[in-house]
Each structure stands twice: as C-alpha cells, then as structure tokens.
Amino acid sequence: MPIEDIHEFISELEKNGELKRVQTEVDSNLEIAEIMRREMYSDGPAILFENVKDYDMPVLGNAFGSMKRLEIGLEMTDFTEIGKRIADMTKMDVPSGLLNKIKKLPELSKMTASFPKSEVSGPVTEITSTDASFDDLPILKSWPNDAGQFITLGMVATKHPETGVRNLGVYRMQIVDKTHALMHWQKHKRGAHHGDISKDRGEKIPTAIIIGGEPATVFSSIAPVPEGLDKYLFAGITRKEGIKTVKCKTIDLDVPANAEIVLEGYVDPSDIRDEGPFGDHTGYYTPVEPYPTFTLTGIMRRKDPVYVTTVVGKPILEDAYIGKVIERSFLPLIQMFHPEVVDFSMPAAGWFQGFAIISIKKRYPGQAKKVMMGLWGMGQLSLTKMFVVVDEDINVHDINDVIWAITTRADAARDTTIINNAPTDTLDPASPLVNLGSKMGIDATQKTKEEGYNREIQQQVKVDDETKNLVDSKWSDYGL
C-alpha cells in the first residue's frame, strides 16, 4: 500500500535510518534553518524537531533531501516509471467491439484507480475553525536578511476559473500579519495564470495552502506537469492509487484528506504589496518585488499536526533531490515529443532552471538545434537558460564527459546559439530585466560536412578488444 501521510512517511524514514529526532529546544527564527542547511550540506538525515520554542507543534525538515528518502516516499527506484505511465495513458487505443473492450478492462482499471476519491471527512478535518492565525504555526525565518517568516513548502491549491482543472504549486509566502501573507507565484507559474484570469474577471481567487501530505502529492505539487493535467490525478498516477480529498469549509476547493494543515482563503489580485527580500535557491537574495496578497479565512488541521518545511539557498540542498526526480520522471515525456533524445540532465549546481544537458541519437545536420528549439517551447523548459546537446556516447550525468564533448566537438563561433529577449526565470539573478533575458545553446555533437566541418573526423582513442580481454582475465593477478 502507498504511504498515506507524513506520519507514515516519518515511520518509514526512521526504520531506514533516514531520520533523526531533535529534543533540544530550537527556535523557528533562524536556528532551525541553519541546522537543516548544515545537515543537508553534509548529506545528513531528515530531522524532526520535537521541541520548538513557543509552539506545541513539531517541525519536519529535509524530509525529501536524498534519493533514498524519495525512493521510500514514492516507493520506487526508477522514477522514469512516472513519465512512462503518463505516456502509456496518452497512447492507449480506444477499443472497438465487446471482446476488445473486455481485453482492455485491466488497463482501464489501472487508469481509473489513479483518479482522486472525494470523502466527506478525513484526518485534516479533525479540527476546523474560522478563527485562524498564522501565529499558531512555527513558520521559519531562514536567512538573516529575509523580510520575515516564509512558508516554503506549502502546496498552494487553486483551480482554473474557467475549466475547473485543479492545480497544486509550491510558491513561497511571506507572512505579513496574523491573517495576511504575500503569494510569490511567479509570472510563468500556473497559479499566477489562474490569478490573472480572476483579475480580468474582477474576482478574488479561492486558494488553499496545504502543509504536509502523501509524499506523492508533495512531489506532484512541485512537478511541472503538462498543461490541463489535474495535479491530484498526477499524484494518483505517481502512487498508482488515487488520493482522497475533502471539501474546504470556507472556500470551494478540494484538498487532500490526509494533509496535516490546510489554510483556507483567497488571493486578491488587486491587493498588491512589496514582497521580499528572500534568500532563494540561486544562492542570492531575491529583491523586493510586488506580489498579490493572500487573506486567511479558515483552517482545517489534525489534532497532532506536523509542520513540514524546507530551506533553500546555494545548491545543493533539499530541492536538488526533488528536482532530480522531476528530471528522471519527465524524460519519457520529452522522448514522446523528441524521440531522438537519449538522456537528459539538469545539474543541481545550475539550480535546475539554469542549465540542462541533452544527449541525442543524431541522424541529420542541425538536429541538435532542432532539439534545443523544441525543448525551449515545452512548458517550464522554456525558462531554461542554457542547453548543451551532446551525442549519445556522452554520459549527461558525468560533467567531465560533458566538458570533454564541449571542448572537442564544439567550435565557439559555429556551435553557439544566442537568443535575445527571451523569457527567463523570475529568480535569475543575472538577467538584465526581471523575466526577460537571453538564452544560450551549445551544439557539442560531432559535426558533419553538411554542418561546415570540412576536416577529417579524428579517430577516438579506444583500447582494442584483445588487450581489454587480456587485462580483464589477469586483473586479479596484478595485486591492484
């Protein structure tokens, strides 16, 4: 059975030696964040802080901060399975005739098993109140120059005002006072798009902030799923079983029934205030910028909730591991649109949105540029700053192999593509304007005559099979 909530996840982490409990009193103001960062930078465990100053609620940090922890939470070791399941669903033929329909039933039942299931109540409805306050939660201040406390791992639930398709996204939220926070949903994110539609209609948008939940739901909230795919369905596809949902009490939204805390309210697109600074995953403080205001109208929570949080800063921290799972899980979807793609990597040091390496099975001149342009047109990959395309013999996960390919197969003038006035990640500290800058593509594939390479292609140095087999057979005799 899939893991149902954070409490089960904590138990599994502890069983596998991936969690430590801290009983010493700790402060949510800077202290917890510094402990979490030190542990992440030294490949430490998840931490459950059981004695938080001024609060009776434990804080869970670094819960997704290793591949092992994500394998436990998502109950798989090959994360490409997730993308393969979506790809298989899109390729499913519509059966004709009774016999063919019967044959398809097992496949159809697998798909329907992933759909969310509406419940009347759940653990998160144990305590409900309209007298809600952010002051009741141990929300962290992470860096000394942060503008205040920030919710950093809140799953922000909205639905498309016209289609009703549900979305979950993780956007930081700066606490202003007991009932107001600033919603940092960047211009290119789906939540911001829902907000823009509501603004055009002169409406506020119902919004819920979900703290804690099934690991698959947390992952789904961060994953950049294809447009129009319900995030709750994506969570079910990830865990091979639909999640349970309940209705909010003060707004018309569904939320995971097994969550720890749900903060209900609305975002007012016309109530814009200055947000930031905040020490972000680029390793820099993002400057003060205007963002809309969230107003808290109610709370649902468990009797014994755990406050789940994360810290960001210069890589490599917890978000790097979640990003690696996203990279693996979306490879099959990239290959659906670009079948020449062999592998794909977004190194954590490039904060994922900054740099990507793609290997391809090259068949014709200019194919590397075709792949770059295609990927720059795909969803959140449109914000990727730099692409390097290499041949299939290069390991995209070995940066030394990639550097070798760049320096031996790319000519700076011929193989570098610069695109000006292109959309960039809001958090990019180098772009000349917020959300607008340039992109670079490097074609590090072996060039052909058609691509202007008129020299003889030099032969790679490789050991011959006879010598290789000889050394293999005598290796144990060398005493090495």
Please tell me whether residues 207 and 342 are part of one structural domain.
Answer: no
Please tell me whether residues 167 and 257 are part of one structural domain.
Answer: yes
Residue 281 counted as domain residue: yes
Range name among 80-94, 123-137, 166-180 with the lowest pLDDT average: 80-94
φ, ψ dihedrals at 433, nearest 5°: -130, 150
Placement of tokens 């503008």 in the chain: 147
- Among 212, 57, 49, 52, smallest CA distance to 136 is for 57
Q: Is the confidence at residue 1, as pLDDT, over 90?
A: no
Placement of tokens 């293999």 in the chain: 472
Question: Per-residue pLDDT averaged across 128-154, rounded?
Answer: 96
Please tell me whether residues 347 and 420 are part of one structural domain.
Answer: yes
Please tell me whether residues 167 and 244 are part of one structural domain.
Answer: yes
- Say how far apart CA 411 and CA 348 lie, in whole Å: 26
Tell me which of 280, 343, 415, 443 is the catalytic residue: 280
- Say how far apart CA 32 and CA 25 lie, in whole Å: 10
Residue 101 — pLDDT band, cuts 50, 70, 90?
Answer: very low
CA quadruple 127, 130, 135, 140: dihedral sign: positive
Residue 203 counted as domain residue: yes
φ, ψ dihedrals at 304, nearest 5°: -125, 60
Please tell me whether residues 302 and 372 are part of one structural domain.
Answer: no
H or E element in which residue 127 lies: strand 127-129
In this structure, the number of other CB atoms found within 10 A of the CB of residue 273 comes to 13
DSSP codes joined into one string, 348-378: GGGTTTSEEEEEE---STTHHHHHHHHHTTS
Q: Which domain holds residue 349?
A: 338-451
Please tell me whether residues 258 and 155 are part of one structural domain.
Answer: yes
Question: Per-residue pLDDT averaged across 374-386, rounded?
Answer: 87
pLDDT at residue number 281 = 87
Please tell me whether residues 414 and 348 are part of one structural domain.
Answer: yes
pLDDT digits (tens, 9 = 90+) for 412-446: 999 999 999 888 887 788 888 888 989 999 999 99
Residue 112 counted as domain residue: yes
Residue 173 counted as domain residue: yes
CATH of the domain at 359: 3.40.1670.10
Q: Is the confidence at residue 120, as pLDDT, over 70?
A: yes
Residue 199 counted as domain residue: yes
Residue 226 — pLDDT band, cuts 50, 70, 90?
Answer: confident
Please tell me whether residues 162 and 273 are part of one structural domain.
Answer: yes
CATH of the domain at 286: 2.30.110.10
pLDDT at residue number 105 = 45
pLDDT at residue number 90 = 64
pLDDT at residue number 381 = 84
Query: For all residues of the chain together, what is the average pLDDT?
Result: 91
Stronger pLDDT, 347 or 208, i.e. the higher one = 208
Please tell me whether residues 122 and 220 are part of one structural domain.
Answer: yes
Q: Is 280 a catalytic residue?
A: yes
Q: Is the confidence at residue 88, as pLDDT, over 80?
A: no
Per the CB < 8 A criterion, the answer to whether 168 and 253 are in contact is no
H or E element in which residue 49 lies: strand 46-49
pLDDT > 90: what percent of the chain?
68
- Say how far apart CA 43 and CA 318 lie, in whole Å: 10
Please tell me whether residues 181 and 103 are part of one structural domain.
Answer: yes
Per the document, the length of the chain is 480
Residue 272 counted as domain residue: yes
pLDDT at residue number 35 = 97
Please tell me whether residues 255 and 397 are part of one structural domain.
Answer: no
DSSP annotation of 73 reads: H
DSSP codes joined into one string, 111-132: HHTTS-EE-S--GGGSEEESS-
Residue 96 — pLDDT band, cuts 50, 70, 90?
Answer: low
Range name among 178-187, 330-339, 384-393 with the lowest pLDDT average: 330-339
Residue 176 counted as domain residue: yes
Residue 126 counted as domain residue: yes
Angle between helix axes 80-91 and 231-239 (nearest 10 degrees) is 110
- The domain tally of the chain equals 2
- Say how far apart CA 86 and CA 111 lie, in whole Å: 10
Please tell me whether residues 245 and 105 are part of one structural domain.
Answer: yes
pLDDT at residue number 153 = 96
